[in-house]
Chain A
Amino acid sequence: MAKIICHIDVNSAFLSWSAAYRVHVLGDALDLREIPSAVCGDPESRHGIILAKSAPAKLYGVKTGEPLFQARQKCPQLVVVAPDYALYVENSRRFIAILREVAPLVEQYSIDEAYCDLSGTEKLYGDPLQTAVRIKDRIRDELGFTVNVGVSCNKLLAKMASDFEKPDRVHTLFPAEIAEKLWPLPVRELFLVGPATERKLQAMGITTIGQLAQADPAHLRARLHKHGELIWNFANGRADDELAAETALNKGYGNSVTTAVDIVDRQTAHKVLLSLSETVGMRMRRDAQRGSCISVQIRSNAFRNVSRQMQLPQPTDATLEIYHAACRVFDDLWDGRTPLRLLGVQMSGVSREAPRQGSLFEPDAYERLARSDAAIDSIRARFGESAIMRASFLQTDGVGPMAGGLSKARRSGVTKPVPPEEDEASAEFWAGSAGLLPGEEEG
């Protein structure tokens, strides 16, 4: 029986989620998706980075990853909002939950993408293409944002298909359709063809996916080694799905922060790493994910980036374990002199509840950390992110306890809170509740 694989991709995820929140939860009339708008890392700073943009903003040439001032040059009326990672995590969870209700096998690929295996569901649901349409419509109607669904027989082609015309569309890309739908596209559109590979292919006279598909694999291998053969297979629609699964596991949870002033001492740097570990760990715990590889990124004040990674002895989601590993990697990476502008922590090798082996020396250390992290998370969820913090942040030099995300200025909607003083009216309001119970109210 033929495999049926879907790739589901949220259209401009961060922007759509912020827009859906404003329209459906706050009741705003303005829909960010209908005007030139963007989610920007730090909207107050002109160097804030565009994280997602609306379709109208795209028409002005606004690009993901460019600094805000550059986007504003192209589109002066661009409306900019700060990211709300806690909201994005909720949206992602609900989105994946719907997929898990429908499909027997779901593999989350990133915060806004997932693969579903619908093979064998025909008897249950009918035509898989109709199932794909139903998944798309259900997410739109229940959650308030749109997705694209690509349908094919492997992950690669499904992913390529979901990238065709957007938004709110289902596209197929079965092997018989490759020549017509895939081959005319520029080669950079192909999965795993980055700018460097594109340049090399261009030098070989290859500009479309079709030309790559028909190139001599020996020739490609000579110039691009194993990667050449891989993308040649991709161009022909052949993919080893194990490989796609491997890539999926390598996606991770990361966070970075650009500091207002250069960091020149180890102690401050460690404090920043702690606050980054806090947000990364919190997001992993919310998703029930653990990571087995940590990488730390630093950027000097001369904008040189360096990063280093380390395999952890045990997969973890505990803030303190992430933090201690981050410090080790950082101490290894930094010369102790170069002023730093950016620090980042990334956890990869991520999997859902990866197993842990008991440690011979500290049998319950992880359990203790897990319990304390869970308590901290629930206090933050109920009382706000500043309700609890590590003591090291009490004397802080501009390093917040939750760096790199989780905006606070959200969920406003507050217009006129009731004043707290207890007057006669209050007493009557609360005391009068007895007569309100349904069984009693007619009496």
Chain B
Amino acid sequence: MTRVDALNMPVEMISLCDDGGKLRPLRFRYQDAAQQMVVVRVEEVVYQKESQQAGLAACLFVCRAQLGERQRVFELRYAVREHRWTLFRFLS
């Protein structure tokens, strides 16, 4: 099986931190390959977990949303130390 590099693209994010410390991505945007600004409204967080891979704390969110014509499933990541969100990869 050949592996592909993840997208790992920084995005601007509006997220919700609830009073229990739970984080939830709501809406984010990025520039696509054609320099077009894409705004994505997260419809559902399908799955989430915390990661310590390579010693760095991160929160992983597998989400579903409408992107243009298609419903897509993708993984968002929040790097705790860097306070940065990335669109890590598309899963469908």
Partner-B contacts on A (CB < 8 A):
17, 20-21, 24-30, 87, 90-95, 142-145, 381, 411, 413-419, 425, 429-430, 432-433, 436-438
Q: Given A17-B55, A87-B54, decide whether A29 and B4 contact each other with a Cβ distance below 8 A.
A: yes
Determine how close the nearest CB of chain B comes to the CB of A429; give it in whole angstroms: 6
Bits for B59-92, please: 1 = Cβ < 8 Å to A, else 0: 0000000000000000000010110001011000
Whether the pair B30, A437 counts as a contact (CB closer than 8 A) is no
When A and B form their complex, what is the total count of cross-chain residue pairs whose Cβ atoms lie within 8 Å?
A: 96
**B31 proximity list for chain A (CB < 8 A):** 416, 418-419
**A29 proximity list for chain B (CB < 8 A):** 2-6
Whether the pair A94, B55 counts as a contact (CB closer than 8 A) is yes
Question: Which one of B11, B37, B55, B86 contacts A90 once the chains associate, using CB atoms below 8 Å?
Answer: B55
Whether the pair A415, B27 counts as a contact (CB closer than 8 A) is no
Whether the pair A26, B26 counts as a contact (CB closer than 8 A) is no
Cβ of B9 < 8 Å from any Cβ of A? yes
Whether the pair B89, A430 counts as a contact (CB closer than 8 A) is no
In the complex, the chain B residue whose C-beta lies closest to that of A93 is B55
Given contacts A21-B54, A87-B56, A414-B10, 13 further A-B contacts (CB under 8 A): A21-B56, A25-B54, A29-B6, A30-B5, A413-B9, A413-B10, A416-B9, A416-B10, A418-B30, A418-B31, A433-B26, A436-B14, A438-B16
Whether the pair A94, B52 counts as a contact (CB closer than 8 A) is yes
Q: Mind listing 14 A-B residue pairs with CB under 8 Å?
A: A21-B54, A21-B56, A25-B56, A25-B79, A27-B88, A87-B56, A90-B56, A415-B7, A415-B9, A418-B12, A429-B29, A433-B14, A436-B14, A436-B41
Whether the pair B89, A25 counts as a contact (CB closer than 8 A) is no
* A24-B12 Cα distance, complex, nearest whole Å: 21
**B81 proximity list for chain A (CB < 8 A):** 381
Q: Count residues of chain B with CB under 8 A from any CB of chain A.
A: 35
Whether the pair A20, B10 counts as a contact (CB closer than 8 A) is no
**A418 proximity list for chain B (CB < 8 A):** 11-12, 29-31, 37
Determine how close the nearest CB of chain B comes to the CB of A82; give it in whole angstroms: 16
Determine how close the nearest CB of chain A comes to the CB of B37; give it in whole angstroms: 6
Whether the pair A436, B30 counts as a contact (CB closer than 8 A) is no
Whether the pair B5, A27 counts as a contact (CB closer than 8 A) is yes
* A416-B33 Cα distance, complex, nearest whole Å: 9
In the complex, the chain A residue whose C-beta lies closest to that of B6 is A27
**A145 proximity list for chain B (CB < 8 A):** 54
Whether the pair B52, A26 counts as a contact (CB closer than 8 A) is no
Whether the pair B54, A433 counts as a contact (CB closer than 8 A) is no
Whether the pair A425, B37 counts as a contact (CB closer than 8 A) is yes
Question: Which one of B8, B39, B56, B82 contacts A27 once the chains associate, using CB atoms below 8 Å?
Answer: B8
Whether the pair A91, B14 counts as a contact (CB closer than 8 A) is no
* A416-B7 Cα distance, complex, nearest whole Å: 11
In the complex, the chain A residue whose C-beta lies closest to that of B50 is A142
Whether the pair A429, B55 counts as a contact (CB closer than 8 A) is no
Whether the pair B27, A25 counts as a contact (CB closer than 8 A) is no
Whether the pair A437, B16 counts as a contact (CB closer than 8 A) is yes
Determine how close the nearest CB of chain A comes to the CB of B21; give it in whole angstroms: 16
* A29-B6 Cα distance, complex, nearest whole Å: 7
Whether the pair B86, A413 counts as a contact (CB closer than 8 A) is yes
Question: Which one of B4, B7, B55 contacts A91 once the chains associate, using CB atoms below 8 Å?
Answer: B55
Whether the pair B55, A87 counts as a contact (CB closer than 8 A) is yes
In the complex, the chain A residue whose C-beta lies closest to that of B42 is A436
Bits for B17-33, please: 1 = Cβ < 8 Å to A, else 0: 00000001011011100
Determine how close the nearest CB of chain B comes to the CB of A89; give it in whole angstroms: 8
Whether the pair A28, B5 counts as a contact (CB closer than 8 A) is yes
In the complex, the chain B residue whose C-beta lies closest to that of A141 is B53
Whether the pair A411, B54 counts as a contact (CB closer than 8 A) is no
* A438-B3 Cα distance, complex, nearest whole Å: 36
Whether the pair A144, B29 counts as a contact (CB closer than 8 A) is no
* A92-B52 Cα distance, complex, nearest whole Å: 12
Q: Given A94-B52, A381-B81, decide whether A25 and B58 contact each other with a Cβ distance below 8 A.
A: yes
In the complex, the chain B residue whose C-beta lies closest to that of A94 is B55
**B88 proximity list for chain A (CB < 8 A):** 27
Whether the pair B12, A429 counts as a contact (CB closer than 8 A) is yes
* A88-B89 Cα distance, complex, nearest whole Å: 26
